[in-house]
Structure 1
Amino acid sequence: MRPGLPAAFLSVPLAHRALHDAADGRPENSRAAIRAALAAGYGIEIDLQLSSDGCAMAFHDESLDRLAEATGPVRSRSCEELRAIPLKGGDGEGIPDLGEVLELVAGQVPLLIELKDQHGRMGVTDGVLEQAVAKALAGYGGPVALMSFNPHSVAELARLAPELPRGLTTSAYDPADWPELARAVCDDLRAIPDFERTGSSFISHEAGDLARPRVQALRNQGVPVLCWTVTSPAEAAAARAFADNVTFEQYLPPLTS
């Protein structure tokens, strides 16, 4: 089963980690950033990490240090603990879990959810984060799509929630940018070899690498190509020559291209 990407994901730009601006009290993946994106009418992209007790948390980094008023791995804290840890640049709010994000968004805009690699080297997943996501999304009625850099994660999502649209987050995989990966792994993933086996219906590719022949071959086959992450109108215009929609931050794009 290969559910198609809802058309809503091609109609409005997607706010990267929601409409965040810590200088304005809206940290990455925060409730405030989500509310701001909703108010502006943008789609929303968020990231998920796993708590120690198996909850999907809206947070980008593996470690708390950069974004939260705490240190150490996200996965070493329970959902309750993470919800109580203030985000830097916020108003004291803690880290939201996926269930709360879904309640906030409530189908008002498209929600693109990236599951972060829990194994560090794009290895076989233990399925815990994927199970938490599938459980949280059961019965959710709004436009939603799931993605991950880790093809094993996308394949597990296909098994657990075959009705949910899913795709691969993809990259040029320059080894200098991926020091945790062996060069052979970079070379393999660069070619997007897992698109068919994961039942993916879209990709979200690195904005500076969109002209890659493999990416454009997929697009020519009718596969929607999203991209990450543009930070200016000029970057967005360049990306839209090769992609169907953009994920953005650091500026406010028009709602229609």
Structure 2
Amino acid sequence: MTILPISLPESFLKRPIAHRALHDVTAGRPENSRAAIHAAISAGYGIEIDLQLSKDAEAMVFHDYDLRRLIGETGPIQQRSSVELGNMTLKHGDEGVPTFAEVLKIVAGRVPVLVEMKDQDGAMGPRTGALEKATAEALAGYDGDVAVMSFNPHSVAAFAAHDSGRALGLTTEAFLQEDNPLIPAATRRYLRNIPDFERVGASFISHDASDLHNPAVARLKAQGVPILCWTVKSKEDEIEARKIADNITFEGYPA
């Protein structure tokens, strides 16, 4: 069954979007942290955040599947409860991992929030559902501008089964083997052509800035689909990206 698309709010096209919020470890603002969220709001940027699932099925604002890089603990995030994660300390900061519900309370509709649900299948397959349900539950009653996306089309469709009132998108790239060693070759070839756009009710994509000349991107742009891109890290790269993309997700410089 095809899902009817909801248009991407215009706010996502007006100001650059801070990748994993406006993080800067030299200023004590780790990625996806409350401090980075507050900084992005103060600067008037849109915010992009990542969601992972905790052991007790809470949507947590955290990028990695494993805790080592960002916290220094060992093991997957899914083996820790939301309370445990909240009591840990993010590297280069003084706070724990926030829940998605908490971040939404902080933002309170002041800036748009671009939400990426991380693939929970492991190979972009259909084993989805728990994170998507938790994401929809956290969003219940939230009136600010939110758009929800994932690299995994099954994840986007699973979210839509719980919340049909949000703009949905696909996070997309070239899906090269060196960048995605765990994804089967046939799946990578399939995904790089963005064939599920209409099926999952997507109204935008967020594409790898280094691959914006992909013919699949050109096809969607010709149809009037908003093109976001990730992750721009300099003003020079921003100028190039904006020749195709309608807006950027950025980090590491003042966009």
Please give the TM-score of this superposition, normalised by the length of structure 1: 0.97
Q: Which digits, 9 at most, give the CA deviation of each residue in 1:88-141, with x for residues without a partner?
A: 0002x1000001100011100010000001121011133000000101101101
* Residue 2 of structure 2 corresponds to residue 20 of structure 1: no
C-alpha distance in 1 between matches for 2:119 and 2:227:
21
Q: Which residue of 1 aligns with 2:70?
A: 67
Please tell me the residue identity of whatever aligns with 2:42: A
Q: Is residue 2:166 matched to residue 1:164?
A: yes
In the TM superposition, residue 177 of structure 1 has moved relative to its aligned partner by 1.0
Residue 241 (structure 1) aligned with residue 255 (structure 2):
no
**2:138 matched to which residue of 1?**
136
Question: What secondary structure, in the 3-state scheme, does the structure 2 residue paired with 1:66 have?
Answer: helix
Match of 1:47 in 2: 50
- Matched ranges for 1:84-95 at <5 A: 84-91=87-94, 93-95=95-97
AA in 1 matched with 2:89: P
The equivalent of 1:11 in structure 2 is 14
Which of 171, 177, 181 is the matching residue for 2:179? 177
Q: Which amino acid aligns with 1:34?
A: I
1:78 aligns with 2:96: no
Which segments of 5 or more consecutive residues in structure 1 lack a partner in the other structure? none
In the other structure, the counterpart of 1:149 is 151
Per the alignment, in what secondary structure is the counterpart of residue 179 of structure 1?
coil
Q: Equivalent residue for 2:109?
A: 107
SS of match in other structure, 2:60: strand
Gapped regions of structure 2 (runs ≥ 5): none
| Equivalenced residues, count | 252
How far, CA to CA, are the matches of 1:69 and 1:206 in structure 2? 28
- Give, in whole Å, the separation in 2 of the partners of 1:52 and 1:181: 24
- Measure, in 1, the Cα distance between the counterparts of 2:169 and 2:30: 26
1:54 and 1:128 in contact (8 A); partners too? yes
- Name the counterpart of 2:191: 189
59-68 or 119-128, larger mean C-alpha shift: 119-128
Identical amino acids, percent of aligned pairs: 58
Q: Tell me the residue number matched to 1:57.
A: 60
**8 Å CA contact retained: 1:173, 1:186:** yes
Distance in 1, matches of 2:184 and 2:135, equals 28
Select 2:123's aligned residue among 98, 101, 121.
Answer: 121
Partner Cα separation in structure 1 for residue 122 and residue 166 of structure 2: 25
Distance 2:209 2:61 in 1: 23
The AA in structure 2 aligned to 1:76 is: Q
CA offset at residue 23 of structure 1? 1.6
Q: Deviation of residue 58 (structure 1)?
A: 0.3
Q: Distance in 2 between matches of 1:24 and 1:50?
A: 28
Q: Determine whether 1:30 maps to 2:33.
A: yes
Match of 1:222?
224
CA RMSD of aligned residues (A): 0.7
SS of equivalent residue, structure 1 residue 176: coil
After the TM superposition, which residues 197-208 of structure 1 pair with which residues of structure 2 at under 5 Å, given as runs?
197-208=199-210
Q: CA deviation at 1:213?
A: 1.4
Contact map agreement 1:69 1:85 (CA 8 A) in 2: no
TM-score for the superposition, normalised by structure 2: 0.97
Please give the alpha-carbon distance, in whole angstroms, between the structure 1 residues aligned to 2:127 and 2:104.
24
Distance between the aligned counterparts of 1:50 and 1:139, measured in 2? 21
1:159 deviates by: 1.5
